[in-house]
Amino acid sequence: MTAAAIMLESDAANSTYTVTKPSTPNTTVEPAVTALAEPESDSASAVNVDAADPNALNPYIHLVRDQNITTIPSFTLECGETLTHVPVAYKTWGTLNAAKDNAIVVCHALSGSADVADWWGPLLGARRVFDPRRWFIVCCNVLGSPYGSASPVTINPATGTLYGAHFPRVSVRDDVRLHRRVLDQLGVASVAFAIGGSMGGMQVLEWGAQFGPAYVRHLVPMATAARHSAWCIAWGEAQRQAIFADPAYHAGEYSQDNPPRAGLAAARIQAMLTYRTRDSFQARFARRFTKGADRTQGDLSVMGVPHNDGLGHFAHATTGNKVTPGVFSAQSYLRYQGDKFVHRFDANCYVAITRKLDTHDLARPYDEDVDPDEAYTAALQRLTQPTLVLAVASDGLFTVAEHEELVAALPNGELGVIASPDGHDGFLLEFDQVGHAVDEFMRRVAPEYFADDLDGASESEVAAPTESSTFGEVDLTAW
């Protein structure tokens, strides 16, 4: 159990959760936007992209503070389509050394951003695992994400409108190939470690597969798989169908003024149940009600709640979701999570990224005469880098058995298991265990980077979380 969970458990039972929109940083000047002709669809207003900002109409871009955005002139995707004027958002910490080989590539998860300090903050900083005095740390935002890289909420230079539902199919492999272009711009000669969890772990494995041990020397994938399972594909489909069922979705041709909030909230609620566990919910919520509930009426008070209470509010969501008395704490928490998510994510982006996950298979493309399982094993055997694979013991999406199968095929793989009752999200909550496992591995396989003995310490520190995360799972007021 994390420190945050210990502090908050006593409050979770009776809390009524409310949501406030994240504040917009006042350090960035909005680019000028000039209207052109009527847009081709109602998914966006047309803008003059002559000079510039592909994120000019992106309502989520300012949620990530102080990031950099570079533009790749042209990039051809696996699907065959070519993107032009491609923005890639990224953040860096530390300095590249003289040999240009001290880079750590940190890869974010599905709804994450390039801001490692937000979702893995306790691991980043002086004397910590990701120490900027020792390492040059880079995190790039993936294609399809609403946080700066090319996505449904960036402007298509061919039309002057948002890509919207017309954003092409992308893959994890596309992300890694595109991010390599960013590392080349930054002058990185080779990567000491590629590290990430969930979708980030998929990227880590693709980094190793696409560029080999001469360029990416060590891998740390966690809470992930080398190919997306039928179980995960099915959950992604269920979440997309929730979005598609929202009448406001309009086959993806919605305006940013009226997005499919109810569908996206329902998708997030489903996802939250896959990220956690039955036991973690039972321990924190049981059958308790929110504050203000009439506990003497038991289930009768719940039956008195309108049948569509909750998601119906999202069609008119403002800055909060006031919960009707009689709602169970578990219900309240899920509504809170859904409401919070619709203020920071886009439905078309969610569709694009979950479809991306479905394509993930390290062995692609298969020869017709080769058994897929044999091809999968062969692909893993080509990953010769020293690799620490971290599983979360209670993960219901990427099971320990999947991680064991992964490690069994890796020539230089080893398995660590994170003890957590919180399921898949354990890699974003169990900072002590993740930090110490990664630190021990780094010092053992790359001792040359620790020869300077910066602080005379034999291990790195892991800080306690001090604020809630926008893009991760630390919530100091609600979990």
Active site residues: 198, 395, 424
Chain centroid to CA 453 = 33
Query: What stretch of H or E contains 48?
Result: none
Q: What share of the chain is helix, strand, coil (3-state, %, to 5)?
A: 35, 15, 50
In this structure, the dihedral spanned by the alpha carbons of residues 433, 438, 444 and 447, taken in order and rounded to 10 degrees, is -130
Count of beta carbons in the 10 Å neighbourhood of residue 50: 9
Angle at 264 between CA 76 and CA 299, to 5 degrees: 155
Which has the closest alpha carbon to 359: 223, 171, 144, 224?
171
**Pairing mode, if any, of strands 413-418 and 387-392?**
parallel
Cα separations (Å) of 478 from 230, 262, 287, 329, 455? Answer: 32, 21, 17, 11, 36
- Structural contact between residues 272 and 337, judged by C-beta atoms closer than 8 angstroms: yes
Report the alpha-carbon distance of residue 68 to residue 179 in Å, rounded.
13
The residue written with tokens 């078309």 in the block is: 348
Tell me which H or E stretch contains 300: helix 299-303
**In this structure, what token pair is assigned to residue 477?**
């007021």
| The token pair that represents 278 in the structure block | 């039955």
Q: Tell me, what amino acid is at 478? A: A
User: How many other C-beta atoms lie within 10 A of the C-beta of residue 372?
Assistant: 13
Q: Locate 118 and state its tokens.
A: 């937000």
Residue 415 pairs with which residues in a beta bridge? Answer: 389
